[in-house]
Structure 1
Amino acid sequence: MQIGVDARLMYHQPAGISRYTWHLLHALAKLNQRDTFTIFQHRKHRTPLISQPNFRRATLFAPVHTRLEQFMLPLELLLHPLDLLHSPDFIPPLHAAVPTVITVHDLAFLHWPHFLTKDSAAYYGQIDRAVRRARHIIVPSESTRQDLIAQLGVPHNKVSVIYEAADARFVPLPQETTRQEVCRKFGLPPTYVLFVGTIEPRKNVNGLLHAFRYLLDKYGLRDVGLAIAGGKGWLYEETLATIETLNLQKQTFLLGRVSDDDLHKLYVGARCHVHAAHYEGFGLPPLEAMACGTPTIVSNVSSLPEVVGDAALLVHPKNWEEIAVALHRLLTDDDLHAELRAKGLQRARCFSWEIAARKTLEVYQQALTSPSSLPAAGRTPASSRPANRL
């Protein structure tokens, strides 16, 4: 097969879809030395993403997420003989002759359209044509698959669930020395709760702040900090205002984007991790936390229960008291903490990029040879029981 993968977004955005693309490409390279892969990179992204004989770097000049993209991309692709093109960033070239596979990571833009910029609305507004144009669609969870079918009317057999995985670097470390190191570096108290993600309404950071205030007031836990590791997103200023309104300036630590090494240590040093988002297509931070041996609390909505299985506490994202109670349990109950640590480590091992790459190769092959016989979904990882409820 001659497979093309559109990796232009990686020059602009280091997280999210770019991480998915990076991990998938490296896993594909380990598995496949037979087929030819053309990795399309931004013209300024000169270093090849993969150094392997059957992987070659190619430059595309079409700008990402602009009006010109759909005019330039099909023309540029004519210079590259491909059997199939994988577009990991939702929207394929809509007028190109080459068959396409796309990855739809979530439908947040349909659930939260009022948070889109004009340019983003124009880009994601192509999703109806994208799902019709694509030969097959990869999604990261059964929740997202059902969302795609319900929201866009996509046929069941056109969508395959292929789970993502945590980076292999996220493993347990010596807990006490790691905690001391990371607390010194970031000025954190010895006991802290960790949130990881972009600060935007969908992630429910403001709700978490209200829950944290409730925790401090009801249980009198004055020596606990809330560490927030993530970049500034939509309505970031509202989060700053909420911190001031709730008088949480001394207990809240806005760390911004941190390096992978620091993020690893922050996970290990945290007493617990919390991800009470309103919606997620997959939810990688809880999986990363579990892989590091850190118990996690997640929302009982969208894909998050599917990811954590029975290895986390579930809460309603709009119920601040419920989130606070879950936090209190993990901060004070050592037996529960140890139980969820063990379950989380086991759960995290159910996900792997090697498995993701194998299933992706199957989709490529079947998309070309027998499009109508593609699997409807991937198998849910071991233990599909619901997570622990309060």
Structure 2
Amino acid sequence: MRVAFDTRGAGDPRGIGRYIRCLHEALLATAQDDDVVVETHRPRRVDVFHSPWIDGANVRAGVPQVVTLHDVVPLKRRSEYLRTGMRFRLRYLAVERAQRVICPTAAVAHDVVERLDVPLERISVIGEAPAPAMRPRPADEVAAVRERYGLPDEFLVWVGGMERPDPRKRVAELAATPRELPLVLVGPAREWAHALCDSTDAGAPLILTGHVSDDELAAIYTAAHALVFASDDEGFGLPTVEALACGTPVAACDVPALREVLDGRATLVPVDDLPALVAAAHAAARPAPAPPAWSWEDAARATWDVYREIAEVRPARPPRRPR
């Protein structure tokens, strides 16, 4: 089987980039003898096209198409996400026409059924997993990241992209919430995020590391007292399972996807109570529960099953418009 796989988003430092990189590597590792994965967003002479992000979804793919939809937050919160132009609508039209939609959780699958014209039988729920680099790191690596980024002996950590304010992540609100331990924000950041260091009155320092490598991120997780995850809406919440894989406790807001993914492995607090979230992170203790027993190889095998199931289903041509 020949599969066209769109890897253009692999360089994204956010969770979508990690999903594309990890799934692509796992697809190659689990391919059978007659399986070929072609890195392209222009499917030609292939059996299936997979767009692992909505930006690559094709309205007229010409071959059976799989689209991974990580969440539908822009559809649920239109007043906060102003992507309402023609390109935005065409991407969701491509999702509606796809032969299969992959969602990382049943919570997202429910949203897709509710918000888009996609029946449940065309949706496959395939979970994500920590990258292989996410594991507890030895003392020398932990000491190295402490020195490199000026990290204190004890701190809380938050992980994500800060190129622009994301209303659901609530980074500014979290930074302003009173706390005893310093808060370390890990991820690529713009000026608005750096300004939080000067404006916060939370009672403990705020430290930004900027973008870090996977090995450095694993060492930061290992060094942290706990991961604090303030999102009020999530599709999967990859940093939470990454932290658990590094032995770090997790405190998060109680949203459907996180409740599903973590399944009792973290302290969940009401979405509207950030002081309780910070208090839960302070009270967290090691050892943290192990992450869910699911790997990227498991995800790849489930994805290959989807490819084989739809390979013989030719996409219907959209009706011709009258001249």
TM-score normalised over the length of structure 2: 0.87
The change in CA–CA distance for 1:240 and 1:32 in structure 2 (over 3 A counts) is: closer
Code of the residue aligned with 1:302 in structure 2: it is P
Aligned equivalent of 1:63: none
Q: Distance in 2 between matches of 1:182 and 1:165?
A: 24
Instruction: State the secondary structure of the residue aligned to 1:203.
Output: coil
* 1:4 paired residue number: 4
Counterpart-to-counterpart distance in 2, 1:111 and 1:266:
33
Q: Deviations over 1:37-86 (max 9, x none)?
A: 34234xxxxxxxxxxxxxxxxxx6xxxxxxxxxxxx5xxx4xx2112111
Question: Where do 5+ consecutive residues of structure 1 fail to align?
Answer: 42-59, 61-72, 216-220, 331-336, 372-390
Match of 2:296 in 1: 353
Shift of the 40–114 alpha-carbon distance from structure 1 to 2, 3 Å rule, reads: farther
The answer to whether the 8 A contact 1:3-1:35 is kept is no
Is 1:198 paired with 2:161? yes
CA RMSD of aligned residues (A): 2.4
CA distance in 1, matches of 2:194, 2:17: 28
- What is the one-letter code of the residue matched to 2:6? D
Deviation of the 1:240 alpha carbon: 4.8
CA deviation digits over 1:21-45, x for unaligned, max 9?
221121111211323434234xxxx
Structure 1 residue 266 displacement after superposition: 0.3
Matched, 1:252 2:251: no
Higher relative contact order (CA 8 A, sep 6+): 2
8 Å contact from structure 1 (residues 3, 86) kept in 2: yes
Partner residue, 2:307: 364
- For the pair 1:183 / 2:149, whether they are aligned, the reply is no
Asked whether 1:101 is paired with 2:66, we answer: yes
SS at match of 1:366: helix
> How many aligned positions are there?
310
SS at match of 2:265: coil
Letter of the 1:277 counterpart: S
1:171: Cα distance to partner?
1.1
Deviation of 1:370 (Å): 6.9
Name the counterpart of 1:209. Answer: 175
**Match for residue 103 of structure 2 among 99, 121, 139:** 139
**How far off is 1:2 after superposition?**
2.0
Q: Which amino acid aligns with 2:23?
A: L
Q: 2:76 aligns with which of 99, 108, 111?
A: 111
Asked if 1:308 corresponds to 2:262, the answer is yes
Work out whether 1:81 is the aligned partner of 2:35. no
Cα distance, 1:197–1:14 mapped onto 2, change above 3 Å = closer
| Structure 1 residues 19 and 121: CA distance shift in structure 2, 3 A | farther
Separation in structure 2 between the aligned mates of residue 228 and residue 14 of structure 1, nearest angstrom: 14
1:338 equivalenced with 2:294 (yes/no): no
2:182 alignment counterpart? 225
* Whole-angstrom distance in 2 between the partners of 1:189 and 1:305: 31
Higher helix share: 1
Q: Distance in 1 between matches of 2:206 and 2:13?
A: 25
- Note the 1:255-334 alignment, pairs <5 A: 255-330=209-284
Q: 2-side partners of 1:370 and 1:195: how far apart? A: 43
TM-score by length of 1: 0.73
* Alignment correspondent of 1:39: 38
Quick one: distance in 2 between partners of 1:157 and 1:204? 34
The equivalent residue for 2:317 is none
Q: Specify the SS of the correspondent of 2:128.
A: coil
- Whole-Å Cα distance in 2 between the matches of residues 92 and 184 of structure 1? 43
Indicate yes or no: 2:94 matched with 1:130. yes
Are the equivalent residues in 2 in contact too, given 1:178–1:269 (CA < 8 A)?
no
124-133 or 272-281, which deviates more: 124-133
Distance 2:8 2:142 in 1: 37
Could you give the per-residue CA deviations for residues 288-320 of structure 1, whole angstroms, max 9, x where no partner exists? 000000001111013111111111100223212
Cα separation, 2, equivalents of 1:108 and 1:352: 26
SS at the partner of 1:172? coil
Confirm or deny: 8 A CA contact 1:84 1:100 kept in the other structure: yes
**Contact 1:94 1:129 survives alignment (8 Å):** yes
Q: Structure 1 pair 121/168, CA: closer, same or farther in 2 (3 Å)?
A: farther
Instruction: Give aligned-pair identity as a percent.
Output: 32
Separation (CA, whole Å) in 2 of partners of 1:242 and 1:139:
34
Please state how far the C-alpha of 1:242 moved relative to its aligned partner. Answer: 4.8
